[in-house]
């Protein structure tokens, strides 16, 4: 037995490697595969975290969004809308007209001003004032008491005057009609 133990000690590492079972050789290869997969998964996780960090950093912060909104509101407040600005107004003389279907018992007295979109229209209205007054008088005298006493009736009359006068103006248009005096008796 002592001979056998001495013989084992004398064997070289190469001889011991030959004697090692086949399963022991698969362990280092399996270990290398597991380590490589682990490194691949870790690299993927690091890549996802880095990409998320970059994307989060690129997003605007809440403070930036709020500041941008405040700046936009300030710009909007500084610039009035074109609809809010009243253009040049052309006053018309007073209209005193009998209403339709009243046999002269109901009269309407209206003062109005026409808002124009450019100065050329103002000159055209001044030159064609008798025609414009005639059209408005005919339009007013065709209305009944019930048509001119309600808010909807007055709005419709305002639109009708604007559309009728605009139908024959050449140099521009009336933007809006303003009633400055409206009395029904």
Using one digit for the tens of pLDDT, what is the confidence trace for 146-180? 999 999 999 999 999 999 999 989 998 999 999 99
Please tell me the chain's helix, strand, coil percentages from 3-state DSSP, rounded to the nearest 5: 60, 15, 25
The pLDDT assigned to 4 comes to 52
- Range 88-184: architecture per CATH: 2-Layer Sandwich (3.30)
Residue 75 has pLDDT above 90, yes or no: no
Which range is least confidently modeled, 1-5, 33-37, 106-110?
A: 1-5
Instruction: Name the more confident of 174 and 83.
Output: 174
Residue 181 pairs in a beta bridge with: 111
State the sign of the Cα–Cα–Cα–Cα dihedral 138, 142, 145, 147: negative
pTM of the predicted model as reported, rounded to 2 decimal places: 0.54
Give domain limits for the chain.
Answer: 2-59, 88-184
Residue 28 has pLDDT above 80, yes or no: yes
- Across residues 39-53, what is the average pLDDT? 90
Cα gap 93→100, rounded to integer Å: 21
Residue 42 has pLDDT above 60, yes or no: yes
- How many CA atoms are closer than 13 Å to the CA of 57, on its beta-carbon side? 6
Altogether, the residues listed in the chain come to a count of: 185
State the sign of the Cα–Cα–Cα–Cα dihedral 130, 133, 135, 137: negative
The pLDDT assigned to 166 comes to 93
Which 8-state DSSP code applies to residue 144?
A: -
Are the C-beta atoms of 141 and 100 separated by less than 8 Å? yes
Residue 51 has pLDDT above 70, yes or no: yes
Are the C-beta atoms of 126 and 116 separated by less than 8 Å? no
Tokens found for residue 37? 């997969």
């Amino acid at each position: 037995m002592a001979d056998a133990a001495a013989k084992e000690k004398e064997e070289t590492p190469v001889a011991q490697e030959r004697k090692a079972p086949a399963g022991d050789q698969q362990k280092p290869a399996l270990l290398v595969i597991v380590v490589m997969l682990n490194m691949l998964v870790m690299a993927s996780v690091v890549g996802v975290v880095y990409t998320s960090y970059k994307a989060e950093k690129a997003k605007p912060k809440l403070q930036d969004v709020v500041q941008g909104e405040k700046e936009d509101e300030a710009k909007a407040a500084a610039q009035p809308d074109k609809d809010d600005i009243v253009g040049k107004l052309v006053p018309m003389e007073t209209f005193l007209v009998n209403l339709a279907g009243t046999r002269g018992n109901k009269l309407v007295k209206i003062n109005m001003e026409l808002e124009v979109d450019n100065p050329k229209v103002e000159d055209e209205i001044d030159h064609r004032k008798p025609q414009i007054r005639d059209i408005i008088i005919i339009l007013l005298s065709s209305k009944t008491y019930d048509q001119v006493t309600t808010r909807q009736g007055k709005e419709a009359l305002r639109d009708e005057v604007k559309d009728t006068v605009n139908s024959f103006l050449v140099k521009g248009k009336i933007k809006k009609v303003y009633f400055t005096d409206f009395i029904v008796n």
